[in-house]
Amino acid sequence: MRSRLFGVVAGAAFAVAAAAVPVMAHHSFAAEFDAKKPVKLRGTVTKMEWINPHSWIHIDVKTPDGKVEQWMVEGGAPNALLRRGWNKNSLLPGTEILVEGFQAKDGAMRANGRDITFPDGKKLFVGSSGTGAPDERPDK
């Protein structure tokens, strides 16, 4: 019963998308990122672009051989965070973050940030009251 309903919802959602009525994300990430290229990045924030349609977090990632790669990580849309009280000072340069996501299809040093946490596991931009989202516990 549950999976049938899921199928109906998913099918309806895609049918709706095909009719150009977007209820999902701004655009399809499959057109930009490769689900077959998962990445795990640990880096230091150099800049966060609080922009739409998606924020971008720029990080310096140290490779094992001591080089520094400059990655940009696509986050969510920022306005929801602003409504919860976050602002441009909430993620300052020099902060270390961990990113789990998928790399850009064209091979560039860009990734879609599905999970962004601090080294202690706490998720980025989770406040004390939470939002009810299913992934808000640090241990997932």
Partner 1 sequence: MRIRFTGAIVALAGAAVITLAVMPIAGQAPQGGRAGGRGAGAPAAPAAPAARGAAAAARPARIAGHPNMNGIWQAMGSAYWNLEDHSASATQFWQLGAIGAIPAGQSVIVDPANGVIPYTPAALKKRDELRAGWPKSDPEAKCYMAGIPRSNYMPYPFQIVQGQKDILFVYEYASSNRIVHMSNHTEAPVDSWMGWSNGKWDGDTLAITVNGFNDSTWFDRSGNHHTEGLTVEERYTMQGDNTLIYEATMTDPKTFTRPWKIRMPLYRRLEPNVQLLEFKCVEFSEELLYGDLKKK
Partner 2 sequence: MRTPLTGALAAGLLIAGAVCVSVLRAQVPAPASTTIPKRPAPRTPWGDPDLQGIWSSDEEAGVPFERPLGQTKAKVNGTELEALLEEREHQRADNAATIGGVTGAGPVHWYEIWGRQSARTSLVVDPADGRVPRLIPEAEQRQQRRTRPMGSFSAGPFERPDDFSLYDRCITRGLPAMMFPAIYNNNTRIVQAPGYVAVTYEMIHETRVIPLDGRPFASGRIRGYLGDARARWDDGALVIETRHFSDKTNYRGAGAGLRLVERFRRSHRGLRYEVTVEDPHTFTRSWTAALNLTPGIALFEYACHEGNYAMRNMLSAARAAEAGGRAVK
Q: By the 8 A CB rule, do 99 and 58 touch?
A: no
Considering only residues 6, 42, 47, 70, which one is a binding residue for partner 2 as defined by CB under 8 A? 6
d(CA 60, CA 30): 25
Q: Which of 29, 32, 44, 50 binds partner 1 (CB under 8 A)?
A: 50
If one asks whether residue 58 binds partner 2 (CB under 8 A), the answer comes out as no
Judged by beta carbon, residue 31 or residue 94, the one nearer partner 2 is 31
Select from partner 1, partner 2, none the partner in contact with residue 70, using the beta carbon and a kind-dependent cut-off of 5 to 8 Å: none
Give whichever of 35 and 68 is closer to partner 2, judged by the CB atom: 35
Centroid of chain to Cα 123: 11
Is residue 107 at the binding interface for partner 2, with CB under 8 A as the rule? yes
- Other Cβ atoms less than 10 A from the Cβ of 107: the count is 9
Q: How far is residue 38's CA from residue 111's CA, in Å, rounded to a whole number?
A: 9
Rounded to the nearest 5 degrees, what angle is found at the Cα of 111, between the Cα atoms of 110 and 117? Answer: 130
Task: Draw the binding track, 2-31, toward partner 1 (x: CB under 8 A; -: no contact).
Answer: ------------------------------
